[in-house]
Amino acid sequence: MTGGIQLKSKEELARMREASLFTYEVLEEIEKAVAPGISLEELDAIAERETKKRGGVCAFKGMYGFPRNICISVNEQVVHGIPTKRKLVEGDLCKLDFGVVLHGFYGDSARTVAVGKISPAARQLLDATRDSLEAGIRAMVVGNRISDIGAAIESSVAPFGFGIVRDYVGHGIGRKLHEEPQVPNYGPSHWGASQKNPRMQPGMVLAVEPMINLGTHEVETLPDGWTVVTADGKYSAHWEHTIAITDDGPKVLTRP
Ligand code: MG
Ligand code: MG
């Protein structure tokens, strides 16, 4: 324990790797099905089926009362979208945010998927958000501080002038989906007073998840109480990995 942060043992890291790879495999199956004409409910059913088939449990179902197995957010929706009968159409930007719990440990990962051909602006947003996550991961080195992750994401995105969502952040992960510390996707200049900035240590596992908007960083929640949308209605992208900090550098657990 370091100030509420749960450091994971080698054995625990091995189990987290299992849960994380499981998350990756199910996400792969869901992404394969993304195409114009499929409904978000159908994608949710694939998440449930593929998770049960492999012997895991969908982590988000019932978490804080969330009604479905996966969060699917389309276009101006940022995160926490509830799968509905809505059908995807060509040009949509579809964010799949999925987690499982396996043998007591959580995996958490998100990706943005292009539905058919998307606009050049949407493509640039998708790519820049994925690249910013990689920049954040490269900063996850023993001895660096949590703020180095957000600072790296921020400088990666800065040349595009995109808005970085501030109201939602990454998090520690392990036996709980959300553990300490919070991991902002922006540098300390926008941090609140309560945000802690510990040094990274071997055994820390973090879910880093930049949410990047084409326009303003400001977001709102729809009347359904869940779906977060951009305040200006412009597109948003979201990428997330579960990552372990080790003496040998960052290990991304949610990809092979
Ligand atoms: Mg997630
Ligand atoms: Mg997360």
The tens digit of pLDDT for each residue in 28-64 reads 999 999 999 999 999 999 999 999 999 999 999 999 9
State both tokens at 43: 């994608």
**Ligand 1 centre distance from Cα of residue 109 (Å):** 5
The reported pTM is 0.97
Q: Which amino acid is at 224?
A: D
**Ligand 1 centre distance from Cα of residue 98 (Å):** 6
Alpha-carbon separation of residue 224 from 93, 151, 171 (angstroms)? 21, 33, 24
Burial zone of 241 (CB within 10 Å; 0-12 exposed, 13-18 middle, 19+ buried): buried
Q: Which ligand is nearest to the CA of 243?
A: 2
In the chain, the domains with their CATH numbers are 10-252 (3.90.230.10)
**Ligand 2 centre distance from Cα of residue 109 (Å):** 7
The pLDDT value given to residue 228: 98
Residue 79 scores a pLDDT above 80: yes
Question: What pLDDT digit, counting tens, does each position of 157-194 carry?
Answer: 999 999 999 999 999 999 999 999 999 999 998 999 99
Q: Which ligand is nearest to the CA of 110?
A: 1
**Ligand 1 centre distance from Cα of residue 32 (Å):** 19
Question: What pLDDT digit, counting tens, does each position of 100-120 carry?
Answer: 999 999 999 999 999 999 999
Residues 6+ apart with CB under 8 A from 98: 23, 26, 27, 30, 47, 58, 60, 69, 70, 71, 108, 109, 110
State both tokens at 138: 């490269």
The pLDDT value given to residue 63: 94
**Ligand 2 centre distance from Cα of residue 209 (Å):** 6
Q: Which ligand is nearest to the CA of 70?
A: 1
The pLDDT value given to residue 75: 98
